[in-house]
Amino acid sequence: MPNKLGKRYSCAECGAEVLVTRAGDGELSCHGEPMDVLQPKPLPSSD
């Protein structure tokens, strides 16, 4: 699965986070395991 530009990846074991600044083929891994794509955080409402 290619890395997606602007996505943030996280390691489940140590909590390291990586922000992808250049998309490309391959897979991000940490401690020999693939890193998970983090979901975007919702913006606070401006009520």
Q: Which two tokens stand for residue 32?
A: 């020999």
Give the whole-angstrom CA distance, residue 17 versus residue 37. Answer: 10
* Fold classification of 8-37 (topology level): Rubrerythrin, domain 2 (2.20.28)
- The whole-number pLDDT of residue 21 equals 92
Q: pLDDT in tens for each of the 47 residues of the chain?
A: 688 899 999 999 999 999 999 988 988 999 999 999 999 888 888 76
- The whole-number pLDDT of residue 1 equals 67
**Burial grade of 11 (CB within 10 A; 0-12, 13-18, 19 or more):** middle
3-state helix, strand, coil in the chain (%, to 5): 0, 30, 70
- The whole-number pLDDT of residue 10 equals 94
- The whole-number pLDDT of residue 32 equals 92
